[in-house]
Amino acid sequence: MIKNFLSIVFVLVVCSSVSAQLNPYKYVIVPVQFEAFDKPNKYSSSTLVKYLLQQEGFTAVYDNDLPGDLAGNLCLGVNMHMEDNSGLFSTKLRFIFKDCNGAEVFATKMASNKLKEYQEAYTEAIREALKSVSVLGYTYEPAAGTADEGITVSFKDDVRNIEEKEKKPLKDKAVTQQATPEVQRYEDKRPVPSTYTKSGGVSTGSSRDHGDITSEVLYAQSTDTGYQLVDSSPAIRVKLFKTSMPNVYLATYGELQGLVFERDGNWTWEYYLDGELVTKELQIKF
């Protein structure tokens, strides 16, 4: 009994100590492209990591969209790095949090699986590794002598798991966006050339040639791993893969990969295109 009690006390002390190490950091900086990957947000890694961190109370930001106070003082944030030790038959990774000087602050457990599909394997490994963060009970506590003026941060083009308080238009005036807890609106007036064709009831060509699917009504058909979204033809347009979170799906549309999630009765589609995060609203009938 005494041995078990001491073990529990030891675990609590360790968790408290690690949490205290992370508490001085106002932000977690998530790279748009992890070192292990050859393109931004591969396997929806950056989007999923940021979403899961926000679920645990962290203010996670992308490294290409830093708020003003963090851009002026990088030591307000802790940087995330992925250590990928995957092999031919298994996916194996963990995350390391480092301060502005490159010193390690915290490392998650090593997560591994032997799933064959890369998308599913990395999604499962990311979720498993970040379970180490969920036990920390993080609460931001500014270090003594650190000025914190409470700057409001706009999370434009985000997964919107936390409330957004600002309206911030995109740089292109032809594109407008409104993101508040009550309204999620995205409008793109730029002409989109399309060479979309259909063959045998299944769409062909790349996702860049499919046109704008936001103007279409898409119908969800159940699959073993989630849903496939078809148009009125019917032709398969988007494939949705279940995650551990309700109404949040990994999505593929041609070569594009991203997230489709429900908020306030609306379905939102987020993905990267040429290094830029794009947010659109979908009309889905289940």
Domain boundaries, the chain: 2-134, 175-285
From 78, 72, 67, select the one nearest 100 (Cα to Cα). Answer: 78
Assigned CATH topology for domain 2-134: Rossmann fold (3.40.50)
The whole-number pLDDT of residue 60 equals: 95
201 Rama sector, left if φ>0, alpha if ψ -120 to 50, beta otherwise: left
**pLDDT for residue 179 is more than 70:** no
Residue 37 buriedness (CB in 10 A; 0-12 / 13-18 / 19+): middle
The whole-number pLDDT of residue 250 equals: 92
**pLDDT for residue 189 is more than 50:** yes
27-31 average pLDDT score? 96
User: pTM surpassing 0.75?
Assistant: no
The whole-number pLDDT of residue 15 equals: 43
The whole-number pLDDT of residue 184 equals: 45
Cβ atoms of 159 and 261 closer than 8 Å? yes
Choose between 196 and 63: higher pLDDT.
63
What is the b/e burial string over 133-159, where b = at least 16 CB atoms within 10 angstroms of the residue's CB?
beebebeeeeeeeeeeeeeebebbbbb
